[in-house]
Structure 1
Amino acid sequence: MPPKNGLPFGRICLTRGGSMDKKRNKMLASGAACLSLTLLFSLDTLVNTHVFPLFYSFAPQAKDAATIVGALTLFAIAGIAMRRPFPFISLKMALSFACAAAAGLGCIILGALWESALITFAGAVLLSVGGRTVVPLFACFTLVRLDYLRAYTVLLAALVAQYPLAFAVGLLPEHIVFAYVLAAPFASLLLAHAGGASTMLRTRGRQRLGDLSIANPRSFIPLSHIVFLTFAFFNLATGCALTYLADGGIPQNAEFSILPLAALLVAATAGRRLDGDALVKLSCLLILCGFLVVPLAGLPNNAARGLSLSSPWLFAAGSTCFTFVFYLVLSEIGRRNRFGSVPLFAIGYGVSRIGFEVGALVGHLMNSSADAAVIASVALSFLFASYGILLLGKVSFRTLIEDVRPVSETDTDDRVAIERELSEQCERAIERYGLTPRESEIVKLLAQGRSIAIIQEKLFVSKNTVKTHVKNIYMKLDVHSQQELIDRIRTLP
């Protein structure tokens, strides 16, 4: 039997120590992720309740315009990310966007003092683009690093904690609130960095995401997937919650919307968790109830009119529950394919912003008159009821996640050399046979074995256009099939 200080006993000690270190690191990463997201969520609340109302009286359209510009920026980030090697975003880039948000806050304050619509508009755009695009994208990578159970609890804790934090900060003097809005993006980014976001953004491969999506189509969610429409649809309720019955641009208090999330958090700590599909049904039910109680405002009964005032609370509760699902689903998909997570998060955020803006317009319409409120609420009640009946059974977030084929770093490394050699051969063929720029794009995809349907989706052109270019390529290279084309390109001297 070896002595206690022998090698076998020492290995056990090392194993235990390593296990404890891993557990401690996971706890620290979870804590950093929770704090980062709490700051991010509370920042969004304070911007809507304390910053945007500053210019509501003289530039009410600036907020809506800034939201649209922010959504377009997110779509641009997704498009650029698909044409660049992973990861495209970094801590330095996120910090520069946070600086833009700080400059935007300064412009808004100056614009409010001088009542300048132009300065205010520029500030609102800078704040929206700087603080609501790359900053949350970077922070979300802390969730990608966590496993599902930890991400579930961290997200719930952050969404619940942001309510008392935003409420407490909102009670402080105005200059302290502005200082918090100024510092929160930087603190959130540094905490996300400490939580491992930068680690998840590291990779050895330099393959473009667009090429990787063609090689692994099942690992990427197409833009036409109904999940993105669902994101926009449910964020319509968020826009309504912030604009319906708003007073001078200040949203109605919706602190009680914390109750469903708090109940979910208590259940999670007890080991009971709802899956994404059940949470979507809960969100749909709360939002539907919010629209159904709006017409009660026209009844003579005081109790009914009082009940109608709960609609912003129900909108906020339902949309916040769906926000939880939104982050949970995207982080789980990002965990299976972190290479495609940047465009995935960007498009998800972008369509959510568009849905939010549509909801804000509906909220303004409902504020215009009692009749408009009734008509809009009945129409939206019908839409959400139809969604609940027709689509909830067909759109399964669990199935969506399981259908995404995991991609590892070795998958990209093994293809880099092959892709580089094939690209060089294609360049030789393009130069030798004088192909046009569009024909050059198509011949590279044909050489990779892509079908006309995939090329059509990739290049956003019609099927007949692709067929015409393919016919011209075959004629120039003197081949009659795709396999002959591939053989010709691979054997070029």
Structure 2
Amino acid sequence: MDHVRNILSSLKGRGAVFFGGYALYLVFSFMAFHSATLTSVSLAIGHDGNVVFSASAMAARIGVCALCVGVVWRLGTKGRLAAPRPFEWTLLVAAIAFLLGGMLVLAMVASLADAVEASKITVWLGVSGALLGCGDVLVTFLWARFSATLDLRQVYLYVTLCNGASLVLYFVATLLPGPVVLPLAAALFLASALAAQRSLVLRGEEDGGWTLDPTVARALFRDLWHPILGTTILCFMGGLMLQISGLQDISLGTFQQTSLWASAAAIACLLVPALVVRKLPNLTRVYSVALPVSAAGFLLLPLIWNAAGGIVNAFVQVGAMVAGIILWCMLADAAHRTRTSPILLFSVAFLATSAAQLAGTLVGWVNAETLRQGDLALTAIALVSVYLLLLAAIVLFRNRSGAPGAAMAEEGADLPVTPEEALCQRCAVLAERYGFTPRESDIFLLLAQGYTMPAISERLFVSENTVKSHVKRIYQKLGIHTRSELIDLVNQAGD
């Protein structure tokens, strides 16, 4: 456990703020978007109203993420991405403004729901969901920027612990009376947003620390598309299951308790590698657990429907939650290693996962009334869903042990190499061609992988000046002057 204490002590004040603030954000997110807690303030809202609220929030997140991708990419390609400190304050102020607007509209809906016709209530629910969705994603960007200042082990430990702490806080929130739900949610959001801003101030880094090299960004997305795809599929399945598993026939309290226990079990399993194992496992392998868990939920769907307090839905939602945690860590680590803008990386990932969840929600909502326990259509949906999950598993893990390539290996056939292996091979060829020393070869490979000089210094346990000297000699031998030229040269070596 010494390595855990070392991690905790290395973060000091900023880690404490991150732990408390991010956990509060997760509680708000559970209350607002992952259950009907926030909209349960009025019985008149009903299931259709909840769907409109959630779908509007997802659509708003998609719009904000798409806008951020376009703006960050445009600024980055023009060399104007280095944002001053006011950028973070802009995110904070905008998030709080959206929150206050969304909460006021939702409070109005709750007070007038019994006296106003349903169509007008639905419109205002959509407005409230959209405002809260915008505020939610902006605060998420603040936490993403902070997460990218941590190394992989640190961000994995803290994100997992925050998810565990948030479950405890959420359980307490479910025991509170209805009138305090909206004020409590607003207070949690405000506290989290302010903690996020404070964490960024405490990180001790200079403004403008993030960059955007289009070549490096494209290389990162080539490496990250597998986990993004896996999480996207699970988010679609989660949105679909939430609508077709008969949850409208389960009380809110029962649904909350089932989800809490299932999520707590998953978080406990995720904490084991961080607390016990000194070497953090390959995070992409966690998907090999998340996918079967979700598949089990769909296989049980035609049999037990909404029995056991919605346990079928809990299986699928836990799979999506685990995949989301791992994807968050991988995105933060990629930004940390390469100094690529975390706003860009997280925006692309959130754009894909939110769109998938919205699609699953709408498909399930449209067909929910036509499906009943034991229906042939429901059985078909379950089997097709499992089939899609199995296809995803084949795509995500085909180059790993136990995947389809394993049989070829036993027969002595040539196996397709992974992108990482291909990159190493190209770098090795170039290193031999240009007469690199062993240390230059190591640094050359890390440069091609997108590592910054400070990250290389930390990884190889040498000073940054030493790294700069080696990089200068590497550039001289290659006859180039920039990182982009180096990456282009490595890519051309594979043609």
TM-score norm. by structure 1 comes to: 0.69
Cα distance per residue 1:415-454 (max 9 Å; x no partner): xxxxxxxxxxxxxxxxxxxxxxxxxxxxxxxxx9999xx9
Change (3 A) 1:367 1:81: same
In 1: Cα distance, 2:322 partner to 2:398 partner: 19
Cα distance per residue 1:312-364 (max 9 Å; x no partner): 12112211211211111111111112332111111111211111112323443
Change (3 A) 1:219 1:28: farther
Written as runs of structure 1 = structure 2, the 5 A alignment for 1:37-436 is 37-47=22-32, 48-53=35-40, 54=42, 55-56=45-46, 59=49, 60-84=51-75, 85-88=80-83, 89-115=87-113, 116-131=121-136, 133-196=137-200, 199=203, 202-204=206-208, 209=212, 212-214=213-215, 216=216, 220-221=220-221, 225-240=225-240, 242-243=242-243, 244-247=245-248, 250=252, 253-257=258-262, 258-271=264-277, 273-297=280-304, 306=307, 309-364=310-365, 365-366=367-368, 368-370=370-372, 371=375, 372-394=377-399, 404-407=449-452
Asked whether the equivalents of residues 87 and 202 of structure 1 are also in contact (C-alpha less than 8 Å), the reply is no
Asked whether the equivalents of residues 213 and 220 of structure 1 are also in contact (C-alpha less than 8 Å), the reply is no
In 2: Cα distance, 1:62 partner to 1:324 partner: 24
Q: CA RMSD in A?
A: 3.7
Moved more, 75-84 or 229-238: 229-238
Asked whether the equivalents of residues 29 and 142 of structure 1 are also in contact (C-alpha less than 8 Å), the reply is no
In 1: Cα distance, 2:210 partner to 2:36 partner: 43
Partner of 2:404: none
Cα distance per residue 1:284-324 (max 9 Å; x no partner): 110011111112138xxxxxx85795211211221121121
Cα distance per residue 1:191-229 (max 9 Å; x no partner): 22333367488435897x4xx315x45654269945433
User: Which one-letter code corresponds to 1:112 in the other structure?
Assistant: A
In 2: Cα distance, 1:68 partner to 1:75 partner: 11
In 2: Cα distance, 1:218 partner to 1:308 partner: 44
2:13 pairs with 1:28: yes
- CA offset at residue 49 of structure 1? 2.6
User: Which one-letter code corresponds to 1:179 in the other structure?
Assistant: P
User: Which one-letter code corresponds to 1:143 in the other structure?
Assistant: S
Partner of 1:302: none
User: Which one-letter code corresponds to 2:142 in the other structure?
Assistant: F
- CA offset at residue 139 of structure 1? 1.1
In 1: Cα distance, 2:326 partner to 2:210 partner: 32
Higher relative contact order (CA 8 A, sep 6+): 2
Partner of 1:442: none
User: Which one-letter code corresponds to 1:37 in the other structure?
Assistant: Y
Partner of 1:301: none
Partner of 1:487: none
Query: Which stretches in structure 2 are left out of the alignment for 5+ residues?
Result: 114-120, 401-417, 424-445, 457-484
Asked whether the equivalents of residues 87 and 342 of structure 1 are also in contact (C-alpha less than 8 Å), the reply is no
User: Which one-letter code corresponds to 1:29 in the other structure?
Assistant: R
Asked whether the equivalents of residues 336 and 404 of structure 1 are also in contact (C-alpha less than 8 Å), the reply is no
Q: Percent identity?
A: 15
In 2: Cα distance, 1:267 partner to 1:173 partner: 38
In 1: Cα distance, 2:170 partner to 2:454 partner: 40
User: Which one-letter code corresponds to 2:37 in the other structure?
Assistant: H
TM-score norm. by structure 2 comes to: 0.68
Written as runs of structure 1 = structure 2, the 5 A alignment for 1:459-474 is none
Change (3 A) 1:392 1:206: closer
Asked whether the equivalents of residues 297 and 308 of structure 1 are also in contact (C-alpha less than 8 Å), the reply is no
Change (3 A) 1:320 1:57: closer
User: Which one-letter code corresponds to 1:86 in the other structure?
Assistant: L
Change (3 A) 1:126 1:449: same
- CA offset at residue 390 of structure 1? 3.8
- CA offset at residue 152 of structure 1? 1.4
User: Which one-letter code corresponds to 1:346 in the other structure?
Assistant: S
Query: Which stretches in structure 1 are left out of the alignment for 5+ residues?
Result: 1-19, 299-304, 412-447, 455-493
Partner of 1:489: none
